[in-house]
Amino acid sequence: MQTTAIRTVANSLPQNEVILLTLLISKRYIPYTDLQKSLIIWLCFLPVAILNGGLREYILVKVIGEEWALPVSGMILSVCIFLITWMLLPRMIKAITSKESWLIGINWMLLTIAFEFSVGLAGGNTVVKLLATYNPLDGNLWLLVLAATLLSPIIVKHMHNTIQ
Protein backbone atom coordinates (compact mmCIF):
# COMPACT_ATOMS: atom_id res chain seq x y z
CA MET A 1 0.00 0.00 0.00
CA GLN A 2 2.83 2.40 0.82
CA THR A 3 4.48 1.69 -2.52
CA THR A 4 1.16 2.31 -4.26
CA ALA A 5 0.87 5.74 -2.61
CA ILE A 6 4.37 6.72 -3.76
CA ARG A 7 3.66 5.34 -7.25
CA THR A 8 0.40 7.33 -7.45
CA VAL A 9 2.20 10.56 -6.55
CA ALA A 10 5.03 9.77 -8.98
CA ASN A 11 2.59 9.07 -11.82
CA SER A 12 1.00 12.48 -11.34
CA LEU A 13 4.32 14.33 -11.59
CA PRO A 14 6.07 15.60 -14.72
CA GLN A 15 9.00 13.42 -15.78
CA ASN A 16 11.74 15.67 -14.30
CA GLU A 17 10.08 15.66 -10.87
CA VAL A 18 9.67 11.87 -10.96
CA ILE A 19 13.42 11.69 -11.54
CA LEU A 20 14.05 13.97 -8.53
CA LEU A 21 11.68 11.91 -6.37
CA THR A 22 13.44 8.72 -7.50
CA LEU A 23 16.85 10.22 -6.70
CA LEU A 24 15.68 11.33 -3.26
CA ILE A 25 14.61 7.76 -2.52
CA SER A 26 17.30 5.75 -4.31
CA LYS A 27 20.32 7.69 -3.06
CA ARG A 28 18.96 7.58 0.48
CA TYR A 29 19.08 11.35 0.78
CA ILE A 30 15.86 11.00 2.73
CA PRO A 31 15.08 7.65 4.35
CA TYR A 32 12.16 6.02 2.53
CA THR A 33 9.88 6.02 5.58
CA ASP A 34 10.64 9.70 6.27
CA LEU A 35 9.84 10.55 2.66
CA GLN A 36 6.50 8.79 3.04
CA LYS A 37 5.79 10.68 6.24
CA SER A 38 6.70 13.99 4.60
CA LEU A 39 4.30 13.19 1.74
CA ILE A 40 1.53 12.58 4.28
CA ILE A 41 2.22 16.01 5.77
CA TRP A 42 2.17 17.59 2.29
CA LEU A 43 -1.16 15.91 1.57
CA CYS A 44 -2.56 17.74 4.61
CA PHE A 45 -1.90 21.01 2.78
CA LEU A 46 -4.35 20.15 -0.01
CA PRO A 47 -7.68 20.31 1.87
CA VAL A 48 -6.49 23.41 3.72
CA ALA A 49 -5.63 25.09 0.39
CA ILE A 50 -9.04 24.16 -1.02
CA LEU A 51 -10.81 25.50 2.08
CA ASN A 52 -8.69 28.65 1.85
CA GLY A 53 -9.82 29.13 -1.75
CA GLY A 54 -13.43 28.78 -0.63
CA LEU A 55 -12.86 31.27 2.18
CA ARG A 56 -11.39 33.71 -0.33
CA GLU A 57 -14.17 33.36 -2.92
CA TYR A 58 -17.19 33.20 -0.63
CA ILE A 59 -16.23 35.37 2.34
CA LEU A 60 -13.12 37.51 1.82
CA VAL A 61 -14.18 38.88 -1.57
CA LYS A 62 -17.51 40.01 -0.08
CA VAL A 63 -15.99 41.43 3.10
CA ILE A 64 -12.78 43.13 1.90
CA GLY A 65 -13.18 43.13 -1.90
CA GLU A 66 -11.49 41.23 -4.69
CA GLU A 67 -8.38 43.44 -4.68
CA TRP A 68 -7.48 42.49 -1.09
CA ALA A 69 -8.94 38.99 -0.95
CA LEU A 70 -6.16 37.41 -3.02
CA PRO A 71 -3.18 38.71 -0.98
CA VAL A 72 -4.92 38.05 2.35
CA SER A 73 -5.75 34.53 1.19
CA GLY A 74 -2.09 33.98 0.24
CA MET A 75 -0.96 35.10 3.70
CA ILE A 76 -3.55 32.88 5.40
CA LEU A 77 -2.48 29.83 3.39
CA SER A 78 1.20 30.50 4.09
CA VAL A 79 0.53 30.66 7.84
CA CYS A 80 -1.56 27.46 7.65
CA ILE A 81 1.25 25.62 5.82
CA PHE A 82 3.71 26.70 8.49
CA LEU A 83 1.36 25.66 11.32
CA ILE A 84 0.71 22.24 9.79
CA THR A 85 4.44 21.73 9.39
CA TRP A 86 5.10 22.92 12.94
CA MET A 87 2.47 20.57 14.37
CA LEU A 88 3.26 17.44 12.33
CA LEU A 89 6.89 17.40 11.15
CA PRO A 90 8.61 17.02 14.56
CA ARG A 91 6.07 14.39 15.62
CA MET A 92 6.23 12.29 12.46
CA ILE A 93 9.94 12.53 11.71
CA LYS A 94 11.84 12.45 14.99
CA ALA A 95 15.47 12.90 13.91
CA ILE A 96 15.76 15.20 10.92
CA THR A 97 18.92 16.83 9.66
CA SER A 98 19.21 20.25 8.05
CA LYS A 99 19.91 18.56 4.72
CA GLU A 100 16.78 16.41 5.02
CA SER A 101 14.64 19.41 5.95
CA TRP A 102 15.89 21.27 2.86
CA LEU A 103 15.17 18.24 0.68
CA ILE A 104 11.69 17.88 2.17
CA GLY A 105 11.00 21.56 1.51
CA ILE A 106 12.21 21.28 -2.09
CA ASN A 107 10.13 18.14 -2.56
CA TRP A 108 7.01 19.84 -1.14
CA MET A 109 7.52 22.89 -3.33
CA LEU A 110 7.92 20.78 -6.49
CA LEU A 111 4.89 18.69 -5.57
CA THR A 112 2.88 21.88 -5.00
CA ILE A 113 3.88 23.34 -8.36
CA ALA A 114 3.15 20.05 -10.14
CA PHE A 115 -0.21 19.74 -8.41
CA GLU A 116 -1.16 23.34 -9.17
CA PHE A 117 -0.29 23.00 -12.85
CA SER A 118 -1.95 19.58 -13.16
CA VAL A 119 -5.20 20.74 -11.59
CA GLY A 120 -5.09 24.09 -13.39
CA LEU A 121 -4.54 22.56 -16.83
CA ALA A 122 -7.14 19.85 -16.16
CA GLY A 123 -9.56 22.62 -15.18
CA GLY A 124 -9.13 24.31 -18.54
CA ASN A 125 -6.68 27.07 -17.60
CA THR A 126 -3.89 28.02 -19.96
CA VAL A 127 -0.21 27.92 -19.02
CA VAL A 128 -0.12 31.72 -19.43
CA LYS A 129 -2.91 32.12 -16.87
CA LEU A 130 -1.19 29.72 -14.47
CA LEU A 131 2.13 31.56 -14.84
CA ALA A 132 0.35 34.85 -14.10
CA THR A 133 -0.11 33.66 -10.51
CA TYR A 134 3.67 34.04 -10.08
CA ASN A 135 3.42 37.83 -10.48
CA PRO A 136 3.10 39.43 -7.03
CA LEU A 137 2.50 42.84 -8.64
CA ASP A 138 -1.02 41.64 -9.50
CA GLY A 139 -1.74 41.09 -5.81
CA ASN A 140 -1.28 37.34 -5.96
CA LEU A 141 1.01 36.09 -3.21
CA TRP A 142 1.43 32.58 -4.66
CA LEU A 143 5.22 33.03 -4.43
CA LEU A 144 4.82 33.58 -0.68
CA VAL A 145 2.88 30.30 -0.46
CA LEU A 146 5.68 28.51 -2.35
CA ALA A 147 8.30 30.11 -0.10
CA ALA A 148 6.35 28.99 2.98
CA THR A 149 6.13 25.49 1.52
CA LEU A 150 9.87 25.41 0.84
CA LEU A 151 11.07 27.02 4.07
CA SER A 152 8.63 25.67 6.68
CA PRO A 153 10.53 22.38 7.23
CA ILE A 154 13.81 24.26 7.65
CA ILE A 155 12.36 26.86 10.04
CA VAL A 156 10.52 24.21 12.06
CA LYS A 157 13.68 22.09 12.30
CA HIS A 158 15.66 25.04 13.64
CA MET A 159 12.88 26.08 16.04
CA HIS A 160 12.63 22.50 17.29
CA ASN A 161 16.42 22.37 17.87
CA THR A 162 16.33 25.70 19.72
CA ILE A 163 13.53 24.58 22.03
CA GLN A 164 15.25 21.32 22.97
pLDDT bin (cut points 50, 70, 90) of residue 49 is very high
The larger pLDDT score, comparing residue 60 to residue 137, is at: 60
Residue 132 half-sphere exposure, CB side, CA atoms within 13 Å?
8
pLDDT range class, residue 150, cuts 50, 70, 90: very high
pTM of the model: 0.79
